[in-house]
């Protein structure tokens, strides 16, 4: 078993990834281009080889800044990554990642996995995801929803809100997303990142927007792999909270997934017990614990978190910035928070 930087063609990496049970969209080689071009990060994509054949892969990314420090994460900004392959390959890749982190002086190595891995590293369950098993047709989907939820979805429709899907929704999605992030007091990622995603993954990325007349009022973006769709980013304008256009975004995406014969709608990660967690559970989904392995003992360093009291001043300040200023400055900070 040898662990080396991967130098083969992207197609070989992806062919291997898709052959391993439990792979995710974020293991695909195209994310190397997204993170390098869209965010300027160094990607250390590692391959475990045995008898000249791939037996495991690890997409590892260096996120380094003067403000927050030096992290090695698989995968930053996303829910999953981590080593993938045979048990022996996974252990070898994790060992090599720890060596790199120690040699390079990274203050934290974090391997984000959807499932338990056969490695001996401290693990955090501070994040979970919520999965909804989709029925075979839209009528059955609506029967799953409680009456109160159905009413919440119908409300924006009655107000004239309509849904649009496709790559042409990237710009309106980002306009809503950037304003929403400012209102939350959180720096936004750049529009360039989303444009790179759309370019690299034209067939598996999806942008959706809810429109009230000629104004985009809510949006979502996510990815399809296998029989699953995960919504990774969602937002809505606070000025329209009364009519809840975000509910129509989620329902519209679910209906679209059913039309494409997908089996699972993934709501993305959240913190257990949070308001976001409760929002996701109301749709009738089930929880899935995430396994995030680190080279730190439990309770030690984690990646920067806006809920950390040490950073509590940041959101208060950010909410006061003009949207244009926050949208310009945000990407310079957001790229450093994995």
Q: Is the pLDDT of residue 298 over 70?
A: no
Mean pLDDT of the chain: 93
129-287 and 2-127+291-303 share a CATH fold:
yes
How far is C-alpha 284 from the chain's CA centre?
21
Residue written as token pair 């370019």: 199
Phi, psi of 233 (to 5 degrees): -130, 135
pLDDT of residue 306: 58
Residue written as token pair 């104004």: 215
Q: What are the domain boundaries of the chain?
A: 2-127+291-303, 129-287
- pTM (predicted TM-score): 0.93
Say how many CA atoms lie within 13 Å of 185 toward its Cβ: 12
pLDDT of residue 304: 64
153 pLDDT tier (thresholds 50, 70, 90): very high
Q: Is the pLDDT of residue 212 over 50?
A: yes
Give the angle subtended at the CA of 70 by the CAs of 64 and 72, to the nearest 5°. 95
Phi, psi of 268 (to 5 degrees): 85, 175
pLDDT of residue 279: 95
Q: Is the pLDDT of residue 302 over 90?
A: no
299 pLDDT tier (thresholds 50, 70, 90): very low
pLDDT tens digits for range 98-130? 999 999 999 899 999 999 999 999 999 999 999
Give the domain 2-127+291-303 fold: Aminopeptidase (3.40.630)
305 pLDDT tier (thresholds 50, 70, 90): low
Structure tokens given for 25: 């969209």
Say how many CA atoms lie within 13 Å of 122 toward its Cβ: 14
pLDDT tens digits for range 179-197? 999 999 999 999 999 999 9
- Distance between CA atoms of residues 286 and 188, nearest Å: 29
In CATH terms, is domain 129-287 a member of 3.40.630.30? yes
Structure-model confidence comparison of residues 237 and 299, the more confident one:
237
Do you know the residue count of the chain?
338
Structure letter (DSSP) for residue 7: -
Structure-model confidence comparison of residues 211 and 298, the more confident one:
211
pLDDT tens digits for range 35-86? 999 999 999 999 999 988 999 999 999 999 888 889 999 999 999 999 999 9
Burial label, 66 (beta-carbon count in 10 A; 0-12, 13-18, 19+): exposed
Q: 3-state class of 320 per DSSP?
A: coil
How many CB atoms lie under 10 A from the CB of residue 139?
9
Q: Is the pLDDT of residue 317 over 90?
A: no
């Amino acid at each position: 078993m040898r662990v080396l930087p991967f130098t083969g063609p992207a197609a070989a990496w992806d062919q291997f990834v898709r052959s391993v049970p439990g792979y995710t969209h974020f293991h695909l080689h195209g994310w190397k281009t997204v993170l390098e071009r869209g965010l300027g990060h160094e990607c250390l994509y590692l391959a475990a080889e045995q008898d000249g054949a791939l037996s495991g892969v690890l997409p590892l990314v260096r996120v380094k800044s003067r403000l927050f420090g030096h992290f090695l994460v698989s995968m930053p900004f996303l829910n999953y990554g981590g080593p993938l392959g045979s048990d022996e390959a996974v252990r070898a890749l994790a060992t090599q990642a720890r060596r790199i982190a120690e040699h390079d002086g990274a203050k934290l190595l974090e391997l984000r996995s959807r499932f338990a891995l056969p490695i001996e590293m401290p693990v955090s369950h501070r994040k979970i995801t919520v999965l909804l098993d989709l029925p075979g047709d839209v009528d059955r989907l609506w029967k799953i929803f409680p009456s109160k939820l159905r009413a919440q979805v119908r409300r924006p429709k009655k107000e004239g809100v309509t849904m649009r899907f496709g790559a042409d929704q990237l710009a309106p999605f980002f306009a809503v997303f950037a304003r929403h992030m400012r209102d939350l007091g959180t720096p936004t990622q750049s529009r360039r990142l989303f444009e790179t995603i759309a370019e690299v993954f034209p067939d598996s990325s999806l942008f959706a927007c809810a429109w009230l007349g000629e104004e985009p009022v809510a949006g979502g973006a996510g990815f399809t792999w296998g029989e699953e769709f995960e919504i990774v980013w969602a937002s809505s304008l606070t000025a329209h909270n009364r009519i809840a256009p975000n509910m129509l975004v989620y329902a519209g995406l679910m209906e679209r997934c059913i039309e494409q014969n997908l089996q699972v709608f993934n709501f993305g990660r959240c913190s257990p017990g949070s308001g976001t967690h409760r929002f996701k559970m109301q749709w009738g989904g089930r929880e899935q614990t995430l396994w995030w392995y680190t080279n730190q003992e439990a309770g030690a360093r984690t990646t920067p978190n806006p809920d950390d009291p040490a950073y509590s001043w940041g959101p208060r300040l950010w909410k006061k910035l003009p949207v244009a200023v926050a949208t310009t400055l945000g990407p310079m900070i957001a790229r450093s928070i994995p």
